[in-house]
Structure 1
Amino acid sequence: MVEIPAWFWTATIVLVIGLFVFDLVVAVRRPHAVHLGEATFWSVFYIAVAILFGFATWWQLGTTAGTEYFAGWIVEKSLSVDNLFVFVIIMARFSVPAEFQQKALLFGIAAALVLRTIFIAVGAAAIQLFSFTFLIFGLILIWTAVQLVRHRNEEPDVEDNFLVRRARKIMPVSNDFHGGKMLAHENGQRVMTPLLLVFIAIGSTDLLFALDSIPAVYGVTHEPFLVFAANAFALLGLRALYFLIEGLLERLVYLSIGLSVILAFIGVKLILLFLHEDVNKAIPEIPTPLSLVVILLILVVTTVASIVRVRAHPEEKAKAHSIRMRRKPKKEEEERRSS
């Protein structure tokens, strides 16, 4: 384990909270539709901040910590792109006006960051207490990889997840966005606006993604601090990245296959680690620098192959890959599209 100074922990948390508050002020102070130039600027800004933090980690904590951070951040960033597919569907299903999409994304991402922090703490405790935790994580990732490929051509039903259904039962839902409010009054009655349902849908969706992404990042680093930092900096730039690549997502037709290969690779890495530590030291481990190279190579090949495929078959479009969400039966989906 890497020794993390208390001041480095504190500085990182302050930086993450400061960046999020700054992002919130920028997005909510003046609701507006985000254009390509603005999305590009903020995407580059947050990627630059994440990279600079990685160099600071490398300098302060050493080469091993720096390599593990970058590997974890790249894994989380690539998995976050998969989140964006579902976010696009959510925005479309609830017909969210362009000027309110930033607010919904940010509140959803804030909830995701809090929930992932809890998951990271639970994962760290499990690793300390149970030697077979890496085996379980590895099997979860391999199972997820298989399911990701199996369901790559299906679309999740984002309006019918458990928390959204419960929210509808607790309070009436308005058809009006009421200027971007979460709650409002109609005819003397307190109601939820569709924006609150969008916030719940985004937050709960990311919670489901965290069940896979947290074990994945623990596959490249066992240090909770680096797991937290990789998740935080991957999530912070998600709002801007959403608007930057919203129109490009459907071109990544092989993303589900690429991500499934990455998850399966990390799953095998975790299982080998368990066997090395608990069964036989002669069983080889997969070093983190090699993991970083393999993950980058898979992402490059996936992206290039997707671009080549779409050029040859422009009618093909990528789909969301949230395998844990309820999916529309094919007949129901066909009826929705025809209407």
Structure 2
Amino acid sequence: MPISTLVAASEAAPPGSDIVVSPLAWVAFLAFTAVLIAIDLLLHRDDHEISFKEAAVSSAVWIALGVSFTFVMWVWLGGDAATQYITGYVIEKSLSVDNVFVWAVILGYFAVPKHLQHRVLFWGIFGALVLRFAFIFAGIALLNQLEWLIFVFGGFLLFTAWRVATHDEGEIHPEQNPVLKLMRRTIPVTADYEGRHFFVRRDLRRFATPLFVVLVMVELTDVVFAVDSIPAILAVSRSQFVVFSSNVFAILGLRSLYFLLAGAADRLVYLNVGLGIILAFVGVKMIASHWYHLPTLLSLAFIAVVLTVTVVASLRATADDHAGAAESQEGQAHG
């Protein structure tokens, strides 16, 4: 590649930095998000166990909304913004799958009743949206003021890629979490769940319930995963609106994704490897952006290929074991 091309690329504005969104548009989007949250809360106002069919339909609706917003971005802000949005959406959605499996460990450890799981995840994700909003604006402000931070963020993504690719799900131990230990020492917690309540009063004292402890743990896991995923999306776009909107649509569908995939962790055996490759690619892309901005469409294509190969390879690798387990259960039933 000619040196002049590299120089021109290095002097070009970071992707998304030229996207201008008016305050009125921000208000409209936040209002639309609030309406979606209110509808979801209304549909699940009665606590009940989420069936696989309900989770599948809900997931399809959320994904359709997220993907459809690409068209809105295209018409409103142009092709570059739309490509950056859908790439950010795919990155956030794929990285969130690992978060879903951690939720499964936490909810299983605390034996959260199935009819209360949607409630705790709903409020956990609501809090996550507020945290993401703050993280995104802070991250973009830092990158705009201190351009050399792209090397720090890129290096962090490479480290995270190695950590994710070599991570063993069996190492997750919620009982060893320092925040949980601190809560148990400082906050009075009831012995049992008190229905859907996060707090109850006993003898003029306010007690937290185990459901509140689970909520804090869910929020904590999102903070940890946000530290990984937000730098990854900032490698794709510096537009606050593009990054935040892609986060919103990816996160709002996480509850449904949890009920759909929580039992599939043993089938996606290569998921961590695939996510590690994606994070490593994004880390290299961020570092290289100082000299050359890789077209976002190529990034999207690479991520889509990695995800497809990861899922197909995982399902093929576990197909025999899954079939064997099914035959064993059938044999025991007939026996």
Q: Pick the TM interval, shorter chain.
A: 0.7 to 0.9
Q: Which of 4, 8, 14 is equivalent to 2:31?
A: 14
Indicate whether 1:251 and 2:267 are aligned. yes
DSSP-derived class of the 2:111 partner: coil
CA contact (8 A) 1:36 1:244 kept: yes
Indicate whether 1:32 and 2:48 are aligned. yes
Aligned 1:178-327 pairs, distance under 5 A: 178-186=194-202, 189-274=205-290, 276=291, 284-314=292-322
Indicate whether 1:142 and 2:158 are aligned. yes
Query: What CA deviation, in whole Å up to 9, does each residue of 1:115-134 have, x standing for no partner?
Result: 11111011011011101121
Gap change, CA 1:315 and 1:139, over 3 Å in 2: farther
Question: How many residue pairs were aligned?
Answer: 307
Q: Distance in 1 between matches of 2:68 and 2:152?
A: 33
User: Unpaired segments of 5 or more residues in structure 2?
Assistant: 1-17, 325-335
Q: CA deviation at 1:315?
A: 10
> Bigger shift: 237-246 or 211-220?
237-246
CA contact (8 A) 1:141 1:263 kept: yes
2:310 counterpart letter in structure 1: T
Partner of 1:79: 95
Gap change, CA 1:315 and 1:104, over 3 Å in 2: farther
Query: What CA deviation, in whole Å up to 9, does each residue of 1:219-272 have, x standing for no partner?
Result: 111111111011111110111111122222321110000000000000000000
2:52 counterpart letter in structure 1: L
Q: Distance in 1 between matches of 2:211 and 2:193?
A: 7
CA contact (8 A) 2:166 2:273 kept: no
1:145 counterpart letter in structure 2: A
Partner of 2:22: 5
Q: Distance in 2 between matches of 1:156 and 1:21?
A: 33
Q: Distance in 1 between matches of 2:311 and 2:147?
A: 37
Q: Give percent identity, aligned residues only.
A: 39
Q: Distance in 1 between matches of 2:80 and 2:268?
A: 32
Indicate whether 1:106 and 2:122 are aligned. yes
Partner of 2:15: none
Q: Distance in 2 between matches of 1:15 and 1:194?
A: 32
Q: CA deviation at 1:314?
A: 4.2
Q: Which of 165, 183, 192 is equivalent to 2:181?
A: 165
Q: Distance in 2 between matches of 1:16 and 1:160?
A: 36
Larger radius of gyration: 2
Partner of 2:147: 131
2:145 counterpart letter in structure 1: L
DSSP-derived class of the 1:180 partner: coil
> Bigger shift: 139-148 or 177-186?
177-186
1:181 counterpart letter in structure 2: H
